[in-house]
Amino acid sequence: MTQRTVFGGDEQAKLIRERRNELHLTIEEAADRANVGTKTWCRYESGEPIRQDKYRGVCRALGWIRFPIDSDSRGFDFERYRKDECWSTYLEREFGEAAALSFAVGSELLLDAINEDLDELRSMPKGTHLGQLPASFLAEDMPEQFMMEYDYEFLYQMKSELLLLRSRAHGANQLHAGSVLDELIIYLIVQHADCFFEGEESLFLEKDWKDWIFDLFSDADIEMFLYSDAYITDINIYHFSHWAEEQF
């Protein structure tokens, strides 16, 4: 199986930069073709890792079928995440290795996405929400009904809660979603991990590996209410006004 994760480094940076110049593309044009921000593209050209869910976009922008680096020497660095500070032996014990790995990987990717959007919102007028950004790393993944609520203050709150969850997950500490915001963050963590693991089927032999979050929540209400066409009124705990409240 062809590996589609690019782990960064000077060789990657040189190849991307040279190919972009060969195609006479500006950084802005290349980033637009890849559907990433210009700051993200600049990081690729400085040798920082490319998220697996962005890999195809980068290849498309540069006219490559796959990245021209010997992929046989590259692969998924499982041990790197096992040693991560937010590796949860609780999740591993209760729900399996896939749960612990998806939390470690997905929470890192989600944190990166939040920081990207915070950077964009920081330069916009107060009250600007994710739906108004020219390119958002989170907008399409967030519940649609409350899009106009996702401003800088909310994203900062979301980031703080994510960091707290990552801290709580360390070692054998029990991971608990006490609020709708916690549930949403953990749900998004798994969605980001799912994108990252695309093409890495050998990591997860079971098709339902993502279902651990519903066991953790004891229900699938987050999908029923926030990711369906249902209209949520303000008396429902899944209404935006209640997301930060301790509910569970």
pLDDT tens track for 3-41:
344 557 788 889 899 989 988 999 999 999 888 899 889
Dist CA 53 CA 29 (whole Å): 19
- pLDDT tier for residue 83 given thresholds of 50, 70 and 90: confident
- The backbone torsions φ and ψ at residue 233, rounded to the nearest 5 degrees and listed phi first, read -90, 170
Dist CA 143 CA 194 (whole Å): 18
Domains of the chain, with CATH numbers? 10-69 (1.10.260.40), 78-242 (no CATH)
In the prediction, which pLDDT does 76 show?
56
User: Is the Cβ–Cβ distance between 167 and 143 less than 8 Å?
Assistant: no
Give the largest Cα separation in the chain, rounded: 58
Instruction: Look at residues 197, 176, 188 and name the one whose alpha carbon lies nearest to residue 222.
Output: 188
Higher-scoring residue by pLDDT: 209, 38: 38
For 118, the token pair is 């915070």
| Torsion sign, CA atoms 89, 90, 95, 99 | negative
Q: Residue 240: how many CB atoms within 10 A of its CB?
A: 19
Highest mean pLDDT among 85-99, 140-154, 205-219: 140-154
b/e burial code for range 224-234 (CB count within 10 A of at least 16 → b)? ebbeeeeebee
**pTM across the whole model:** 0.74
